[in-house]
Amino acid sequence: MMQGRPAGAALVAGAVIFFLAELIAAAAWTDPPYSYTHHYISNLGVRGPLEALGQFMNSPLAWVMNTGFFLFGIMFFIGVAALEGLRSWRRWAALILGALVALGGVLLAFNPGSGEPPDGAIDYHGLGAFASIVGGNVLVIFLGRQRQQIGVTPKAGRAMVALGVFGLASMVAFLAVASSGANVLIGLVERCAVYPILVGFLCAGTSIRNRRICGRASST
């Protein structure tokens, strides 16, 4: 199945936007330097200064990370919606999971949080993170299993399934470490749950785009 260019481009763009927003926001956080292994990703969206969850939060370019949260979710949903080849319940499943990722990104962007909401308040930031991570990893697995329908190569499809499974397992590990209060390499464990989503969609997007290019070349 040859996909149109928008699907692959949107999936790649969503991942690239997230990585760039994180890199730029982290580079601006210099006092003390931001740590990818110690600090939560969400800290980059907190203007601060404040202390919560045993960490100091003070992101000079918080708006960059929050914009990245918003755009990555929206771009992933656009990419999933533009996929061709999925029919019936498979298309609805992909759209629902894509909408969950998009909703999570929006909640993260508009509710930058420390992870410690006031008593009785709903932790929309936490809900957004959970929706994005769980929904995103499940979606990566699902699309990897539907590789023939969406035009992804066998190698990329297998990689997506493996990435999604690793991401879900890392999510369990992240919750365990976070609940323990130890904060040992918490930033690294969190990224092991998040990055498989981004890499999985990079695999899907580049595979779809390359097949599209190859399909055009072979028809000329």
CA R_g for the chain: 18
What is the value of pTM for the model shown? 0.90
User: Is pLDDT of 217 > 80?
Assistant: no
Share of the chain above pLDDT 70, in %: 90
What digits encode the pLDDT tens for the residues 178-187? 888 777 899 9
Tokens describing residue 3: 């996909």
Scanning the structure block, which residue is given the tokens 């930031």? 125
Among 65, 60, 62, 64, smallest CA distance to 31 is for 60
What digits encode the pLDDT tens for the residues 134-160? 999 999 999 999 998 888 999 999 999
CA distance 178 to 126: 12
